[in-house]
A and B are shown apart, each in its own frame.
Chain A
Amino acid sequence: MMQVASMHFKERAHVKLNDEVLQGNLRKIKGKFVAKRKASLVELDDFEGTRDAGRAIRQRALDNLDVWLEMFEQNATERGATVLFAQNPAEINKLVLDIATHHGARKIIKSKSMVSEESALDHAIEGAGLKVVETDLGEYILQINDYEPPSHIIGPALHKSKEEVADLFHRVHGTPRKDGIDELCVEARGVLRDHYLNADMGITGGNFFVAETGSVVLVTNEGNATLATTLPKVHVAISGIEKIVPTLEDVATLMRLLPRSATGQSISNYVDILTGPKGRGEYHGAEHMYFIVVDSGRSDVLGSEVREALRCIRCGACMNHCPVYQNVGGHAYGWVYPGPIGSVLTPMYVGLENALDLPQASTLCGQCAVVCPVRIPLPDLLRKLREREFVEDLRPWSERTALRLWARVARYPGLYAWSTRLAVRFLRSRAGSNGMIEKLPLGSGWTSGRAMPAPAGRTFRDLYAERKAAAGKSSP
């Protein structure tokens, strides 16, 4: 399993906030994803209605997941593919290595799969003495940079600037340093082309598994998944159990939402729908096709209070629009899935106790829920995990005490009036001549980056009572 660093969110965020290069790269997200998404939505007559449909399709799949999975298995098997189930990350890796061994594969090419990041599959493959090459450009960049983890689910190397990539290619490929993005892409294509031609096995993720046909749907922009599934003899598609959709027509609806929400494209450059291995007389396709359908915590999510998170189609809109993500980037979150959806899924997949900060690391501003194409109520789900932390005694003692105290006081108006009067007096005693408090005991979280405006003078409650009394006296 990929190493979990989510318990260090705050420390990592601190580092990222002070990384000038990263901050510059992060600022570009808004122009890249946010603006393009917005522009592309204009093409849909009824975007909100399409979101409703997308939500319904995904929810219908989850409500009877066992039925659809069985149908998928049956149909895929009938079409000549092998369907395998992995309960945990270790099983994903074992199944992949077993398949490789069975077919005598020495070199494996991969297109993007976030599920394989969960199990750190590349490390397992290399550990077994086989070669693996990532073919998604972003993933390739990270792989040759000593397996840097991805920082975004659709733009894994989003945190890297063009200059950093140019330096990296120059160093690793031993070629003259290039300046233009086109030149860099041509160089990567050249390097990857050879790998495609002599690989024994191709691994992909799966945007959707289609129950009625037993197909996998792959959504890409670089065509690398198309090559990785047609040139080698063996194709292995890995994805989560929740990626099932009942019908191809459902896929059509979801495809109106996915590329637009992700990159602001009407449609991605490539959409592959692969059903079974190459048949007799067929020219293209792998000779052997495997599906690895992964649970790895998903059925627990399905039975939990945050089950709606499984509707996710991995477009990345929630992180692109999250003001916290925009400022700290994906690495701060410390595991495979960053941003709001990651703050729900990571605690569920790696254990809440290993990711205590994540459900708290949101202002609950609600923008993620506004943009989610399948209407996942992310702020509500974060709040549910906060509730779990509170109930399970996973919050610091000081926080719990302060909250409890405030809530108790607020139940008794007399006590409340008395305490707020004291609080006003205390806060005013700390203020400078400009009415600002620069340092507060227990409040350094606030005052280290901001002043705290002091209360005006007296509480509304007291002033209002006085006015009422005065008005009572003056009236006849």
Chain B
Amino acid sequence: MRVGFFVTCLVDLMRPSIGFAALKLLEAGGADVVVPQRQTCCGQPAYNSGDRADTVALARKFVEEFEGFDYVVVPSGSCGGMIRTHYPGLFADDPAMAKRAAMLAERTFELTDFLVNILKIERVPGSFSGKLTYHDSCAGLRELGIKGQPRALLAMVPGAQLQEMAECETCCGFGGTFSIKFGEISSRMADNKCQHIADSGADAVVLGDLGCMLNIEGRLRRRGDAKTKVLHIAQVLAGEP
């Protein structure tokens, strides 16, 4: 099974270790993983900002680079959601391209979804000592139905205890450019999230999206919490925080 791995621009730029952790998990699960070298960004920032022409150009580039694989795996619900649920609609006036995008969309998976439902892995290399709480990222949850998958995987991590926080499905306030355009509202939403994390008593908050990760970590540290870890689920599962 040939898997094309889409690193995503935020992992590439901010947290390469998450990319390597995901590779380790995919390879341990038996996938033959390729990282196409020309990949960049899925186009979501342009899409959510109303810049359709640039979105279409980046989506086309993505489809061309990844359509040769059996599967495409993405360590992000938000980029995964972009490809799976929004790409096909971008080519409404180009039926041939729309079909290619749709065919790619159905073979594109968010990392935890792929590990649980395609690779069907039953053990993971990582271990953790302490309490974890899981933040459901919006696009993963509501566009891709990522809910049980990360929890099933965390249950395989020796030593990790899952402690659900209140309102784990409520947006953390990131929202891409929203976080800068409406910084004050965004920070308040992040603060509410941090309060729920603190109230859960968890040692670490685990999630599946870089945007939420940077937002929550940034607010936690500004609140003076230097202790609570913010981890991508790939890091916990691979044992490479």
Contact = CB atoms under 8 A, between A and B. Distances in A.
B118 interface: no
A460 B138 contact: no
With most chain B CB atoms within 10 A of its CB, the pick from A408, A410, A458 is A410
B152 interface: no
- Which of A385, A404, A458, A465 has the largest count of B CB atoms less than 10 A from its CB? A404
A390 B50 contact: yes
B170 A407 contact: no
Interface in B2-43: 7, 9, 11-17, 19-20, 35, 37-41, 43
A353 interface: no
A13 B190 CA distance: 16
Nearest to B17: A456
Given A363-B138, A365-B142, A456-B17, A383 B50 contact: yes
B12 A420 contact: yes
A366 B57 contact: no
Nearest to A324: B185
A438 to B, nearest CB: 8
Given A450-B215, A450-B219, A456-B14, A14 B189 contact: no
A444 to B, nearest CB: 7
B20 to A, nearest CB: 8
A449 B13 contact: no
B175 A13 contact: no
Interface residues of B: mostly helix, strand, loop or mixed? Answer: helix
Nearest to A386: B50
Given A323-B189, A383-B47, A448-B184, A370 B142 contact: yes
A436 B221 contact: yes
A452 interface: yes
B51 interface: yes
B178 A363 contact: yes
Contact of A424 (B13, B17, B178): B13
A444 B182 CA distance: 11
Interface residues of B, number: 67
A459 B40 contact: no
B34 to A, nearest CB: 11
Contact of A464 (B9, B35, B173, B182): B35
Given A390-B50, A423-B13, A459-B16, A434 B183 contact: no
B30 to A, nearest CB: 19
Interface string A267-299: 000000000000000000000000000000000
B13 A407 contact: no
Contacts of B70: none
Interface string B204-230: 000000000111011101100010000
A366 B19 contact: no
B49 A364 contact: no
Contacts of A385: 50
Contacts of B57: 407, 411
Given A363-B175, A391-B50, A460-B19, A10 B182 contact: yes
Contact of B187 (A357, A388, A450, A456): A450
B218 A446 contact: yes
B51 A407 contact: yes
B182 A449 contact: no
Given A451-B218, A453-B217, A410 B58 contact: yes
Name the residue among B16, B55, B58, B222 with the largest chain A CB count within 10 angstroms: B16
**Interface SS majority for chain A:** helix
A450 B222 CA distance: 6
A44 interface: no
B61 interface: yes
B164 interface: no
Interface string A331-372: 000000000000000000000000001001111111101100
B67 interface: no
A420 B50 CA distance: 23
Contacts of B218: 436, 446, 450-453
A455 B190 CA distance: 20
B181 A410 contact: no
Contacts of A14: 184
Given A383-B50, A452-B218, A458-B16, A366 B143 contact: yes
Contacts of A369: 142
Given A411-B40, A460-B19, A17 B180 contact: no
Contacts of A453: 14, 213-214, 217-218, 221
Contacts of A460: 7, 11-12, 16, 19-20
Interface in A419-474: 420, 423-424, 434, 436, 443-446, 448-453, 455-461, 463-465
A449 B222 contact: yes
B151 interface: no
A370 B139 CA distance: 12
B52 A323 contact: no
Contacts of B214: 452-453
A416 interface: yes
Given A386-B50, A456-B15, A459-B16, 5 more contacts: A363-B176, A364-B176, A387-B50, A409-B40, A449-B190
7 nearest CB pairs, A to B: A449-B187, A363-B175, A386-B50, A407-B54, A390-B50, A445-B183, A450-B218
27 contacts: A324-B182, A324-B189, A328-B185, A360-B181, A360-B182, A383-B48, A385-B50, A388-B50, A395-B49, A399-B49, A403-B54, A406-B45, A407-B58, A408-B54, A411-B57, A448-B187, A450-B218, A451-B221, A453-B14, A453-B221, A456-B16, A458-B16, A459-B13, A460-B7, A460-B12, A464-B20, A464-B35
